[in-house]
Every structure is written in structure tokens, then in C-alpha cells.
A and B are shown apart, each in its own frame.
Chain A
Amino acid sequence: MKRIGKVLLIGLVVSLLLSGCVTAPEKGKQVSFMISGEPAEVAAYQALVDAFQAKYPQIHIDLRSVANSGDYMKQLVTAFSAGAQPDVMLLNHRRLAQFAAQGGLEVLGAYLDKSQGLHAADLYPQALEAYTWDGKTWCIPQNVSSLVVYYNRALFDAAGVAYPAAGWTWENFLAAARALTRDLDGDGKTDQYGVGVSAELMRLAPFIWQNGGELLDDAATPTKLALDTPEALAAFQWFVDLQVKEHVAPDASAEQAQGSEARFENGSLGMFFNSRRTVTTFRTIAALDWDVAPLPQGVTAASILHSDGYCMSAKSKVKDAAWTFIEFANGAEGQTIMAGTGRTVPSLRAVAESAAFLDPNQRPAHSRVFLDVIPSLRHMPNLPKWPSIEETASNEIERAFYGQATVEEAAAMAISQTLTYFEQTK
């Protein structure tokens, strides 16, 4: 008994010492700041925090990071429910209304209007607009990334296809995709695909817009998804045909065997749809000869915004200090640090147009594409139940893309299954 007691006592003392070592000293104002990202990104945010700290030693930033974006929501939601929410957090604009509608967020429009260092006019309006809900500006967009086409130049050369350029059309795109889809070893199975695109609403939406369709039946007072209009259905059919009819995109089994992103990385995929996010990884692959192009266009040109913003929680007790941090993070210095990761498209025009983003020594050679498409950018609707709607619709799109339902069936299911979420919003 004595021995057990002693062991426990020593354990307790040791652990107290250890836990003492890792607790940050409290000095001045504490601002908690929550993000999600892999180690390289976290390191960039740490650099941002360090730069801020050097300038404002009286404010202490407590950086909290979660590895995975799914886990991020899990932790953020739990923290909010317990009243332990961070003062500043990074939030995707598609989640904005979900948090704002419940009074979780502070309206930042007034802060922005009063700010000396940060002006609305310096930010791309397409990004800022995505953070407007219920007539108010809630968060400050950190980036203005969008969907583009990554392409493998070596494969284009080998197939004798011209590189994609601004203004290329759905027909040009399909022709290139066909030429790039090949059975290299003659075993009857495709081992090089033309297109890799995840079957979800975030990818399909710009093509619906390009074809004159809309996602919602009414922009001001939406009551349902509008995927069943002729324009939307035609775009949906074209998108699905890439796999079902043309077989220029991997089928379900092939995608399961090796994801499109991995295929692009190892040089067996001609074109890959993604936002700016993958640039960081692609840069590390020396053997990969790649560049970016705008989306092919239909009746009109359109692409879709991918953006995260700095948001402040409504219950923060250190709002001024929190705003000081946001102001710095989204100011020229902060945006330059974050642009250094290669992962973001700065929302601040001055930094986006600078070498920090358009560095000619860094790939992609045509980083400017990300800036050129900004005028034609649209964003997902801001609705409190949008995440549920989008996920339900994406599940239907995936089903159609892999040939398990017709586009008409999938569109009808997506509409009927999401009705409940529109009703709850009313």
C-alpha cells in the first residue's frame, strides 16, 4: 500500500511539473485564435502570430490549431456550445450564415469602416460580398481563391494538344480531355485520364452558372434548389457525361483505387480541378511540369469563390485586441506572410498584385489566372442551413457522376431532400 501510494504521489508531482511547463504565462490581453491546417500552414500562422507579437507585445495570441477541417468543425462547434469559443477564428464563407444566424459572430462591418489600416476598398469586393449576410458584413476575407484547371504540360505536349488559355470553351476542354485519356500499356484499361474532378456541388455549380442556370429558385427568398431547370440540367448532364459517357474521368472504382489528386501528382492525369489549395503540394514535386488555366467557359464565363475569413465571436471579451489582430493579419504585412505559403490568393489587392503572390520564380507560371478570374467569380449562397443543403446535393451529384442515377433523378432527389432545410430557415 505504501508503495502504491508513493508511486501515485510521485506520478502526481511529476505530472504537475510537466503540466506547469506547458501552460503559457498570462500577460496582458489574451486573444485566442483558432485555425485548421497541416503543419506547414500552422507554421505560417505561427509566423503571422510572431510578427504580430513583435509589434504588439501587450497582446498575447493563443494559437489553437486542429489538423483536419472536419475535426476543426467538431472542435469549434463544441467550444461554442460550452462558451469556450475562440476570440478570432478562420471560417469558410459557406459556414458564415450558420454561425451568424445564431448570434455567434460579431458584425465586423463597423470595425472595418472605422479602421485606419484596413479599408473595404482595398479588398476584392467579390470576396467581401461573400461575407455579407442579412445586410451586414460579418467577417474579413482572408483570401479570394477560386476553382481553376491545373494541367500537366508534359502530357499536353505528348498528346499534341495546345495548352488551355483564357476563353477556351467546353468543346475545347472535352477535345483536350479525350486526347489526354489513354491506355498506355494496351491492356484495355485506361491508365491515363484526361480529367480529375470531385463530384460535388462546389465543382458543378460554376458550370450551371456558365450555362445560365442558378442554384436557388429565388435569390432573395429561396424556397428550394433549382437544379431541375433546363439550363442547370444541361450543365449537370455535360458534367456527368465526362465520366459516364466520355470516360475521360476515372470511374468510382478507379477513383477509389487512386484519387485524382494523387494521379495528377504522379503524372497520370491531364487536368485537375481544384482551388489554390494544392499549389503548396504541387510545388514540392520537381518532376511535375504543371500550370493553371481558367475554367473552360460555356455561354458565359464563371467560376466559384473558395474563401476563408477572419471572424470574431460575439461573446469575445477582448474585442478591441481581437480586431487589432485581424487588422494586422489581413493588412499588408500579415497577407504577405500568408501569401508566402503559396496556398492563398490574397484578398488585399496590393498584396495580390505584388511579387509575394505573383513571384515569377515560383510555380505556377500563370498565377495571374487566379486574379484574372476574380471579376467572373460567384459564391455559394449564404443560408444558415447551407452546409446541410450542399452536402445532400453533393451526395446526389456523386451518384449521378458514377452512373448510379440519371441527372434528372439526382436533381429531383437533391431538391426534395433539401426542402426541409429551406423550411427550417424561414
Chain B
Amino acid sequence: MVPEVGASPSSMAQPRGVKRRAAWVRDSYRRQNALFLAPYLLGTLVLVVVPALMTLAVSFTDYQGIQAPTWVGLDNFRRLTETPLVRFSLYNTLIFVVAAVPLRLLGSLGLALLLDGRRGGGLARAAAFLPTVLPETAYALVWLWILNPVSGPLNLMLGALGLPAPAWMAEAGTARLAIVLMALMQVGEGFVVLLVARQMVPAGVYEAAEVDGANRWQGFWHITLPLIMPWILLLLSRDLIVSVQNTFTPSFVLAYGGPYYSTTFLPLLIFELSFDFMDWGLASAVLVIVYAWILLLIWGARNLIEGLRRREVSDAR
């Protein structure tokens, strides 16, 4: 039915025929290509783009789900500044990002260096990757028990070591810390990216350095780190985004945003505004802010990477 690769000898003889046939193949090739893209583009349009645009539109309306939305201009954005909940959750999200992102980056980097594939360690890599892909609700439920102040294994272990046993989800500070801890266990994607980056550093570079008498630490600091820096920055921008979005399940399952709003992060706020308060105009306005913030971060990270590349180029000269 379909010609196998390299199996069209007959047309070789006639240059003209080849040309016409090539044009036809090229066209049908393009058509096929478009066909390949169609489900993805159409599906994404229908299932992601249109709903997202509807949400965007709703941010300029008063919409509570039942009556048709009515246009209110920028009123929802004005209300954002007046709603204490928005302030709380912005603050919480910021705290989480500031605490979790650097820790997650360091964790990814540490794992990538330690679990480098050159000398085995495959199962350790699989183990470290696992928490990232476990079903979220099941994993959060396991943590709910681990963090139990009295019968949870974490506090039992701390107690056995003679360390203070915090009340975890019952207090604002430790509740946030617990969510950060959970996020720190799930750095699988980041460490894999850095693993790849590390492996792409040519071995010859290290050999040359060893001749110069560099030790491991110097090798890392002067060779590996600069070479994988663009990847770290890429990961940084990705993690900034992920940290804003991925706090939903842990804070929802573990404490429903409590105690006293301390784990009410932006996604949970949007959830509550939409489905509990039925204030979709306001919820959409928060979403728009989140999205704008993310775009800004990406833009910043991109500029940073570009700047770094340019400096590298000029250094090389």
C-alpha cells in the first residue's frame, strides 16, 4: 500500500516525471502533515484554547454561574485589591515559591550529580523519580498520615531522635513547611533534566581539567556548573511556574487551605471562589493575574538566558 523507503527506482529514468511526481508527493506530503497536526490542533482548540478564552472573557463580567454574565469592565480587578483572601493567598504563594523553588533546584542538582548514570545507580534513579509520578490524591493521603502529630511516623521518628515534634498541619508555619517538604520529594522531572544536561558535558573537558590538576569540586564549580547553567535557568523558570500551579492537591487534601488560610495558595483560592462562593468573575480575574505573572517570569527567564548566551559568546571571543 505504502511505498517502502528507498523503493522507487522506476521513476529515476525520467527527469520530468520525477519533477511532476516530486511535486505531487510534496503536496500530498504537506496534506498528510496537516492531517497529522489536525487532531492535536483541533482538540487543543476545543478543549483548551476556547475554555481558556471563555475564562478570560469572564474576568470582565459579573458571573455567578446561573444567570448570563454581565459586563463590568475592570471591576473584578478592583475587587481583587479589596478582598483580603486574595492578599492572603498571594502572600502564601510567594512564601511557597521563595522557599520551595531554590530548595527544589538544589535538590534536583544534588540528585543529578549523585545519581549520574555513568556508574550504575539505575534503581536509585527510579526510586527518586517515583514520588513525582505517584497518583496525587493517594500520595497526599499518605502524607496526611505521615504528618499526624501523634501517630504519624515522622513525629515518632523525630521523637525517637530526641527532636521536637511539631504539630504540622495544625500550625501555620509548619503547615507551609510540610507542603514545601512534599514538593521537595517530587523533583523527579528537574533532576532528570539536569542529569541529561550533565551527561551532555563532553568527557574530554574533564580530562583536560584533570591534567591541569583540578579536583572534583573545582571541576564542578568551574566546568560543570557554567556549562549546565542555561539548563538550571530553564529549570528555574519552569519551577517558578509549576510552584504557582501545583500546590492544589496537597493543600486541598491535607488542610483545605488552613489553618487560618496559611496553605490557601492561589489555585485553592480560585477553586474556592468559583465553586464555593460562585464568584467566577473574581476567580477569573485571579487566573488572569496568575497567567500574566507566569508570562512575565518566562519573559524574564528568557532574557536572562539570552543575556548569558551573549556573554558566553563574547567571552569566547
Question: Residues of A with Cβ closer than 8 Å to B?
Answer: 1, 70, 73-74, 77-78, 80-81, 98-99, 102-104, 252-258, 385, 387-388, 391-392, 395, 398-399, 402, 404, 417, 420
Q: Among the listed B2, B79, B150, B276, which residue makes an inter-chain contact with A387, where contact means beta carbons less than 8 Å apart?
A: B276
Please name 6 further chain A to chain B contacts, defined as beta carbons within 8 Å, in addition to the given A77-B278, A254-B149, A388-B277, sorted by A numbering.
A70-B276, A98-B64, A252-B167, A395-B261, A398-B258, A404-B260
Bound Cα distance from A80 to B83, whole angstroms: 26
Interfacial chain B residues near A387, Cβ < 8 Å: 276-277
* Secondary structure type dominating chain B contacts: loop
Of B168-176, B242-250, B291-299, the segment with at least 4 beta carbons within 8 Å of chain A is B168-176
Whether the pair B260, A399 counts as a contact (CB closer than 8 A) is: yes
Chain A nearest Cβ from B272, distance in angstroms:
8
Chain B nearest Cβ from A189, distance in angstroms:
10
Chain A nearest Cβ from B263, distance in angstroms:
12
Bound Cα distance from A391 to B275, whole angstroms: 13
Bound Cα distance from A66 to B167, whole angstroms: 32
Interfacial chain B residues near A104, Cβ < 8 Å: 66
Chain B nearest Cβ from A156, distance in angstroms:
26
Q: Among the listed B66, B82, B151, B168, which residue makes an inter-chain contact with A80, where contact means beta carbons less than 8 Å apart?
A: B66
Whether the pair A102, B260 counts as a contact (CB closer than 8 A) is: no
* 23 pairs from A and B in contact (CB 8 Å cutoff): A70-B275, A77-B275, A78-B65, A81-B280, A102-B66, A103-B66, A104-B66, A254-B149, A256-B148, A256-B149, A387-B277, A388-B276, A388-B277, A391-B276, A392-B85, A395-B258, A398-B258, A398-B259, A402-B170, A404-B260, A417-B84, A420-B79, A420-B83
Whether the pair B84, A252 counts as a contact (CB closer than 8 A) is: no
Chain B nearest Cβ from A364, distance in angstroms:
30
Interfacial chain A residues near B84, Cβ < 8 Å: 417
- With A252-B170, A257-B148, A420-B82 as contacts: A103 and B67 at CB distance below 8 Å: yes
- With A73-B276, A257-B150 as contacts: A102 and B82 at CB distance below 8 Å: no
Bound Cα distance from A252 to B172, whole angstroms: 11
Q: How large is the interface on B (under 10, 10 to 19, 20 to 34, 35 or more residues)?
A: 20 to 34
Bound Cα distance from A255 to B255, whole angstroms: 12
Whether the pair A1, B275 counts as a contact (CB closer than 8 A) is: no
Indicate the member of B151, B167, B169, B280 with the most A CB atoms within 10 Å: B167
Q: Among the listed A70, A102, A257, A417, which residue makes an inter-chain contact with B64, where contact means beta carbons less than 8 Å apart?
A: A102
Chain A nearest Cβ from B262, distance in angstroms:
10
Interfacial chain B residues near A254, Cβ < 8 Å: 149-150
Does any Cβ of A come within 8 Å of B92's Cβ? no
Interfacial chain A residues near B258, Cβ < 8 Å: 395, 398
Question: Residues of B with Cβ closer than 8 Å to A?
Answer: 2, 64-67, 79, 82-85, 148-151, 167-171, 258-261, 274-280
Chain A nearest Cβ from B93, distance in angstroms:
18
Whether the pair A253, B65 counts as a contact (CB closer than 8 A) is: no
Whether the pair B275, A73 counts as a contact (CB closer than 8 A) is: yes
Bound Cα distance from A102 to B63, whole angstroms: 10
Interfacial chain B residues near A391, Cβ < 8 Å: 276
Interfacial chain A residues near B67, Cβ < 8 Å: 102-103
Whether the pair A77, B260 counts as a contact (CB closer than 8 A) is: no
Nearest residue in A to B255 (C-beta to C-beta)?
A256
Interfacial chain B residues near A385, Cβ < 8 Å: 277
- With A73-B276, A258-B150, A387-B276 as contacts: A253 and B170 at CB distance below 8 Å: yes
Chain A nearest Cβ from B118, distance in angstroms:
37
Chain B nearest Cβ from A150, distance in angstroms:
23
Q: Among the listed A1, A74, A395, which residue makes an inter-chain contact with B2, where contact means beta carbons less than 8 Å apart?
A: A1
Q: Which 6 A-B pairs have the closest CB atoms?
A: A253-B167, A257-B150, A102-B66, A252-B170, A256-B170, A104-B66
Chain B nearest Cβ from A71, distance in angstroms:
9
Nearest residue in A to B264 (C-beta to C-beta)?
A395
Nearest residue in A to B63 (C-beta to C-beta)?
A81
Nearest residue in B to A82 (C-beta to C-beta)?
B65
Bound Cα distance from A70 to B114, whole angstroms: 44
Bound Cα distance from A392 to B65, whole angstroms: 21
Nearest residue in A to B280 (C-beta to C-beta)?
A81
- With A73-B275, A256-B148 as contacts: A81 and B170 at CB distance below 8 Å: no
Interfacial chain A residues near B65, Cβ < 8 Å: 77-78, 80-81, 102
Interfacial chain B residues near A77, Cβ < 8 Å: 65, 274-275, 278
Chain B nearest Cβ from A122, distance in angstroms:
31
Indicate the member of B67, B150, B274, B277 with the most A CB atoms within 10 Å: B277
Nearest residue in A to B67 (C-beta to C-beta)?
A102
Whether the pair A255, B170 counts as a contact (CB closer than 8 A) is: yes
Chain B nearest Cβ from A235, distance in angstroms:
21
Chain A nearest Cβ from B282, distance in angstroms:
10
- With A73-B275, A103-B66, A104-B66 as contacts: A257 and B260 at CB distance below 8 Å: no
Bound Cα distance from A52 to B258, whole angstroms: 43
Interfacial chain B residues near A258, Cβ < 8 Å: 150-151
Bound Cα distance from A99 to B67, whole angstroms: 10
Whether the pair A402, B259 counts as a contact (CB closer than 8 A) is: yes
Q: Among the listed B66, B150, B171, B259, which residue makes an inter-chain contact with A99, where contact means beta carbons less than 8 Å apart?
A: B66
Interfacial chain B residues near A417, Cβ < 8 Å: 84
Chain A nearest Cβ from B258, distance in angstroms:
7
Interfacial chain A residues near B82, Cβ < 8 Å: 420
Whether the pair B170, A98 counts as a contact (CB closer than 8 A) is: no
Interfacial chain A residues near B66, Cβ < 8 Å: 80-81, 99, 102-104
